[in-house]
Structure 1
């Protein structure tokens, strides 16, 4: 028998923006886990207003996804690679310790950031959902679904659907699962995250 996890919600509109030190944007934290002052996992939405470098985070793996705007070009200092990302691109995973420079393609963007301490959460992922997708889950894990510009629906191993309003993050921890534990996400514009605990 599968236990339905207790989902929690946080709407972006109910968070406060924190200005960046370089003045190039703001960040709204949605979830800092397990403790806001000593987190190993952080989910946030950034408003990028100007070109400039990203802050470095030693020991952190990052995922970055454009939510709205024309997009960005991220130049990786260590490898020399440049990634052009738009609101339809797959999330980019990278080492948070490396030097990274952001260039706006045509005006400000809104972007989703997942940060996970590499030694604490080595098995993590972020995927974009545009339609209908499902996953067989491993445990223990923290699950999160971000509904961006359209509602999203989460179904848990055949149980009744969980509706998520646009601009809202739903998250839950899962302590146990079996081979029949399946999570389904439906949505025109959503992100799915699974973070191993």
Structure 2
């Protein structure tokens, strides 16, 4: 895979069947996979109404709020949770029954989902005011760096640099993720990092 760029402006948009929102697919593996057979998927969704999450049995999910007042989440797994733009992403199992209420109007969220039998993942948000150094990720198969707001964000590693504007990201393979990366910006930026690790085959 080496280095692959993703761009929200070029993402495939899919309206929900219930009319309560739409999803923009930023990346999916393997490329061209369907919702029934993907290994992992990164997307952003506009949520316009209250409703229950779709069930994804056997998959793990992480959810973050990009814009809007946020979601009030009711699940069987935990006490009610308010997820806002200030929250770290919420990780949960795809088969968990979750009902989401809009706190105050439409929100845009960010989703990472992976097949539990084959992959593990971790999604986190960072607020970068000047620069931030990412240590070499020895146990990462795929690393995603996504600039949500601010920027342009300079990603420097292996003696080269990539520039990301808001709504753009990089997918790095295992070889590139093993190098330290410096993220720098002149405008405070909100960045999402996803580490995906493929489980060893049995």
- Normalization by structure 1: what TM-score? 0.87
Report SS of the residue matched to 1:13: helix
CA apart distance, 1:155:
2.4
Q: Structure 1 stretch 60-69 or stretch 132-141: which is displaced more?
A: 132-141
Name 2:137's counterpart in structure 1: 137
Question: Shift of the alpha carbon at 1:100?
Answer: 0.5
Q: Answer yes or no: is the 8 Å Cα contact 1:129–1:190 preserved in 2.
A: yes
Instruction: Give structure 1 stretches of 5+ with no counterpart.
Output: none
Tell me how far apart the structure 2 counterparts of residues 94 and 28 of structure 1 sit (CA, whole Å). Answer: 21
SS at match of 1:65: strand
Where does residue 92 of structure 1 map in the other structure? 90
2:192 is the alignment partner of 1:191: yes
- Structure 2 gaps of 5+ residues are none
Q: CA deviation at 1:119?
A: 1.3
User: Aligned-pair distance for 1:24?
Assistant: 1.0
2:124 to 119, 122, 127: 127
Aligned to 2:13: 17
- SS where residue 192 of structure 1 aligns? strand
**Equivalenced residues, count:** 188
2-side partners of 1:57 and 1:8: how far apart?
27
Q: TM-score scaled to structure 2, two decimals?
A: 0.85
When the two chains are superposed, the root-mean-square deviation of aligned CA atoms in Å is: 1.9
Q: Is it true that 1:26 corresponds to 2:27 in the alignment?
A: no
What's the offset of the Cα at 1:175?
Answer: 3.9
Partners of 2:176 and 2:191 in 1: how far apart?
Answer: 25
Deviations 1:148-188 (A, max 9, x none): 1222222226x33321111112112114776xx32333451
> Aligned partners of 2:67, 2:171: CA distance in 1, in Å?
22
1:106 matched to 2:107: no
Matched, 1:43 2:39: no
